Structure 1
Amino acid sequence: MKKLFNYCLALCLTTAIYSTADAQVRKIPSEVTEAFRQKYPTALNVEWHDHLTNFTADFDLDKVHYEAKFNNKGMWQNTENKIDTAGIPAPIKEGFQKSKYVEDWKIKNAYKIALREDKTQYRLEIQKNDIQKKQLYFDSTGRLLRDNITL
Structure 2
Amino acid sequence: MYVNRYFTVAAVAGMMLTSCTNDDAVAPQNRAEENFRKKYPDATAVEWEREGTYFIAEFKVGSLEKEAWFDDRGSWKLTETDLPYADLPAEVKKAHEAGDFSAWTVDDVDVVERDGFETIFVLEVERGNTEYDLYYLADGTLVKAFPDDDTDNNYLPVVLSDKITQFLADRYPDYKVLDVDEDNGRIEVEFIHGSVNREAYFTTGGDWLRTETDMRITDVPEEITDVLGGSEYRLYRVDDVDFIETPEGNYYYFELERGELEAEIQIYENGELVVVK
Tell me, yes or no, whether TM beats 0.5: yes
Paired residue secondary structure (2:101): coil
> How many angstroms does 1:100 deviate by?
3.3
Q: Deviation digits for residues 14-49 of structure 1, max 9, x if unmatched? A: xxxxxxxxxxxxx97222222212212332211122
> How many angstroms does 1:75 deviate by?
1.6
Sort the Cα spacing of 1:134 and 1:72 in 2 relative to 1 into closer, same or farther, 3 A: farther
Q: For the residues of structure 1 that align with 2:75 and 2:34, how far apart are their CA atoms?
A: 10
Paired residue secondary structure (2:139): coil
Paired residue secondary structure (1:137): strand
**1:132 counterpart residue number:** 130
**1:63 counterpart residue number:** 63
Residues matched between the structures, number: 123
- Asked if 2 retains the 8 angstrom alpha-carbon contact of 1:114 and 1:120, the reply is yes
- Asked if 1 retains the 8 angstrom alpha-carbon contact of 2:28 and 2:74, the reply is no
Which runs of at least 4 in structure 1 moved beyond 3 Å after TM superposition? 97-100
Q: For the residues of structure 2 that align with 1:146 and 1:75, how far apart are their CA atoms?
A: 28
* Aligned AA (2:74): G
Q: For the residues of structure 1 that align with 2:83 and 2:132, how far apart are their CA atoms?
A: 17
Structure 1: where are the runs of 5+ without partners? 1-26
- Asked if 2 retains the 8 angstrom alpha-carbon contact of 1:135 and 1:150, the reply is no
The alignment's C-alpha RMSD in Å is: 2.5
Task: Give 1 or 2: higher strand fraction.
Answer: 2
Q: How does 1:104-143 map to 2 (within 5 A)?
A: 105-117=104-116, 119-129=118-128, 131-143=129-141
Q: Deviation digits for residues 91-123 of structure 1, max 9, x if unmatched? A: 1123323543334x2212222233334843211
> How many angstroms does 1:132 deviate by?
1.8
Paired residue secondary structure (1:102): coil
Sort the Cα spacing of 1:127 and 1:28 in 2 relative to 1 into closer, same or farther, 3 A: farther
Sort the Cα spacing of 1:128 and 1:57 in 2 relative to 1 into closer, same or farther, 3 A: same
Paired residue secondary structure (1:35): helix
Larger of the two Rg values belongs to structure: 2
Q: For the residues of structure 2 that align with 1:64 and 1:31, how far apart are their CA atoms?
A: 24
Identity of aligned residues (%): 27
- Asked if 2 retains the 8 angstrom alpha-carbon contact of 1:28 and 1:50, the reply is no
**1:77 counterpart residue number:** 77
> How many angstroms does 1:84 deviate by?
1.7
Q: For the residues of structure 2 that align with 1:93 and 1:113, how far apart are their CA atoms?
A: 16
Structure 2: where are the runs of 5+ without partners? 1-26, 151-277
Paired residue secondary structure (2:121): strand
> How many angstroms does 1:68 deviate by?
1.2
- Asked if 1 retains the 8 angstrom alpha-carbon contact of 2:136 and 2:144, the reply is yes
Q: For the residues of structure 2 that align with 1:134 and 1:37, how far apart are their CA atoms?
A: 35
- Asked if 1 retains the 8 angstrom alpha-carbon contact of 2:29 and 2:55, the reply is no
Matched, 1:88 2:88: yes
Q: For the residues of structure 1 that align with 2:98 and 2:73, how far apart are their CA atoms?
A: 40
Paired residue secondary structure (2:66): strand
